Amino acid sequence: MEMTKTKVHNFSAGPGILPQEVVKQASEAILDFNNSGLSLIEVSHRDKDFMGVMDEARNLVKEILGLPDGYSVLFLQGGASLQFSMVPFNLLRPEGTAAYINTGVWAKKAQAEAKLLGNINVIASSEDKNHTYIPKNIVCPKEVDYLHITTNNTIYGTQYKNMPNCECMLVADMSSDMFSKPIDATKFGLIYAGAQKNMGPAGTTMVIVKNDLLGKTGRKIPSMLDYKIHIENDSMFNTPPVFAVYVSMLTLRWIKKLGLKEIERRNEEKAALLYNEIDRNSMFKGACEKEDRSLMNVTFVMNKPELEDAFSKYLKQANISGLKGHRSVGGFRASIYNAMPIESVEVLVDVMRDFEKKNG
Ligand SMILES: *Cc1c(COP(=O)(O)O)cnc(C)c1O
């Protein structure tokens, strides 16, 4: 099957860009899955072919991160947003306290759900400067049940360069920077990531959890929210989102082939190209503290905001899509996830230069 080569440069924040080869393979499996004559989306999830997909996806996560024994990988539904509730249900004792760092909208939503189930302690916040930086020198009380962080703040374009030093269990929402660089996953008790930013389509959320942390709160947990039940059922307690898991598996194969080191090198190269232009170009300025700038979501504003519409027209003419900033921040946001080719970033940089020449 021939794919028409798309000329649109996709800077969408999420659902975001996927590798072209993955999109092509996924479209083929919709028509004929593993030469079965059936579509991927019309076979039983208990079929051995789909069970193989689920196993491969979970194993690829372990291989790519080099996870030791004792960790489980799950593909669940409900988005990263349901993890905001599942984390405290499973890890926060009714009389315990969980620490949260408020680095923006997603962090705050996570915090709000935990608050429904127990005590929370917001130990640091960047709210005073509309989340344009990552709080530093964090001291986390030893006795908390866990510390929750959002490693990459998709809306504002900030990212932790160093994880907070803490003796307690670290829980991380990595929705928008999962698999963008090598990490030591064993530093975390639990990691979750909605697939649709950097590893697949919307519809599934990957969870990595250290098994021995579970079953300790004494809470009664609804089955669908209980990590142990999902682990015991190999992530197939109920019908899994077969298409989303399949496409995530294909993306994980692509990630494994490249390796996280090479992915990081590419991401750094793309981000440097774009940030250098933002800093050089007299029409634009970066929206965040330089040291906390995200490699995934590059946010910037115009020195003359009245030129935003004119710049947007330039973007449209160059087939650049998805650059509008989040409604709570304004300006522009270029999401340059793993699958974004450097050529698309070059096109954007050229448009910015051109705009300066004509309007500067
Ligand atoms: C998009 C996003 C979410 C929300 O994900 P859903 O899958 O829509 O629930 C949570 N956290 C971060 C960091 C995100 O970027």
CATH number, domain with residue 276: 3.90.1150.10
pLDDT at 159 exceeding the cut of 80: yes
Residue 4 located in a structural domain: no
Query: Which structural domain, as residue segments, surrounds residue 53?
Result: 22-258
Q: What is the pLDDT of residue 6?
A: 57
Residues of the chain above pLDDT 70, percent: 98
Best of 82, 154, 159, 196 for a ligand 1 pocket test (most atoms within 8 Å of beta carbon): 154
Nearest CA to ligand 1 atom 13: 175
Q: Using 50, 70 and 90 to split pLDDT, how confident is the model at 1?
A: very low
Q: What is the pLDDT of residue 7?
A: 81
91-113 residue pLDDT tens: 999 999 999 999 999 999 999 99
Q: Which two structure tokens, joined as six digits, stand for 45?
A: 């999830």
Domain boundary among 218, 238, 258: 258
Residues of the chain above pLDDT 90, percent: 95
Domain boundary among 258, 273, 305: 258
Q: Which two structure tokens, joined as six digits, stand for 251?
A: 């993306």
Residue 11 located in a structural domain: no
Statement to judge: residues 241 and 346 lie in one domain: no
Domain boundary among 258, 283, 308: 258
From 145, 177, 197, 226, active-site residue = 197
Statement to judge: residues 296 and 192 lie in one domain: no
Cis peptide upstream of residue 240 (ω within 30 degrees of 0): no
Statement to judge: residues 129 and 116 lie in one domain: yes
Residue 17 located in a structural domain: no
Region 28-46 average pLDDT: 95
332: left (phi over 0), alpha (psi -120 to 50) or beta: beta
Pocket lined around ligand 1, Cβ cut-off 6 Å: 14, 79-81, 106, 150, 154, 173, 175-176, 194, 197
- Pairing status of strand 152-153 against strand 190-194: unpaired
Statement to judge: residues 248 and 277 lie in one domain: no
Statement to judge: residues 304 and 264 lie in one domain: yes
Best of 12, 76, 77, 81 for a ligand 1 pocket test (most atoms within 8 Å of beta carbon): 81
Cα–Cα distance measured from residue 245 to residue 17, given in angstroms and rounded to the nearest whole number: 16
- Pairing status of strand 190-194 against strand 170-173: parallel
Cα–Cα distance measured from residue 138 to residue 218, given in angstroms and rounded to the nearest whole number: 30
Residue 156 located in a structural domain: yes
175: domain CATH number is 3.40.640.10
Element (H, E) at 350: helix 342-359
From 32, 49, 62, 106, active-site residue = 106
Residue 9 located in a structural domain: no
The strand pairing partners of 97, in sequence order, are 119
Residue 309 located in a structural domain: yes
pLDDT at 315 exceeding the cut of 70: yes
Three-state SS letters, 52-73: HHHHHHHHHHHHHHCCCCCEEE
Statement to judge: residues 128 and 218 lie in one domain: yes
